[in-house]
């Protein structure tokens, strides 16, 4: 037997016929639910929920600004967050601007162009256009997180911006 080694033990002896241990069952610990963020007794939703664009807000943006790019007039359009989502810019129609793909890319690559769009909207709707009711509540600009308080405040800001524009002309 050249090159081959023969094992003189049988297979049973080699394995030792030891009983196999029962597999360990891993029990997953239930994930702890994170406590909601509470500010002055009000639950504040997570950023992801607050920055999402709802269909009603998208349609309101289209009704207000049209179904074409605000800068060049081309179609199709994308809804651009003027105050970026990373800065908790809301998905509210006031913070959305219809832009074509070219202008949308430009808004994300050129700080000057993005700032121009924000300033243009701030002149139209006031400086708080990109904030939602929770942000205004946290800044103590409205007394609660009800939609009526939020809309009343934003309407006042819009009227104030309109008076400022008339005063400058």
Q: Is the dihedral of CA 72, 78, 79, 82 positive or negative?
A: negative
Long-range contacts of 142-148 (CB under 8 A, 24+ apart): 144/42, 145/42
Q: What is the pLDDT of residue 19?
A: 63
Instruction: Convert the pLDDT of each residue in 70-115 to its tens digit.
Output: 999 998 999 999 998 888 888 899 999 999 999 999 999 999 999 9
Decide: helix, strand or coil at residue 78.
strand
Euclidean distance between CA atoms 77 and 97, whole angstroms: 9
Q: Which residue ranges make up each domain of the chain?
A: 37-164
H and E: helices and strands count for the chain: 7, 4
Which band of pLDDT confidence, cut at 50, 70 and 90, is reported for residue 17? low
Euclidean distance between CA atoms 31 and 89, whole angstroms: 30
Q: Is the dihedral of CA 132, 135, 137, 139 positive or negative?
A: negative
Task: Give the mean pLDDT of 42-56.
Answer: 88
Whole-model pTM: value is 0.73
H/E stretch holding 11: helix 11-15
Q: What is the pLDDT of residue 7?
A: 64
Residue 150 has pLDDT above 90, yes or no: yes
Q: What is the pLDDT of residue 30?
A: 82
On whether the CB atoms of residues 117 and 107 are closer than 8 A, the answer is yes
């Amino acid at each position: 037997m050249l090159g081959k080694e023969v094992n003189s033990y049988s297979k049973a002896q080699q394995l030792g016929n030891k009983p196999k241990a029962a597999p360990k069952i891993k029990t997953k610990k239930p994930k702890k639910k994170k406590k909601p963020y509470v500010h002055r007794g009000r639950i504040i939703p997570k950023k992801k929920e607050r920055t999402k664009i709802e269909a009603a807000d998208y349609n309101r943006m289209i009704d207000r600004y049209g179904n074409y790019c605000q800068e060049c007039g081309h179609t199709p359009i994308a809804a651009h967050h003027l105050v970026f989502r990373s800065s908790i810019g809301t998905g509210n129609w006031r913070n959305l601007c219809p832009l074509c793909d070219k202008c949308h890319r430009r808004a994300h690559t050129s700080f000057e162009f993005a700032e121009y769009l924000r300033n243009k909207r701030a002149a139209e709707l006031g400086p708080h256009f990109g904030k939602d009711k929770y942000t205004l509540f946290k800044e103590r600009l409205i007394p609660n997180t009800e939609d009526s308080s939020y809309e009343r405040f934003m309407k006042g800001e819009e009227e104030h911006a309109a008076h400022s524009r008339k005063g400058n002309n």
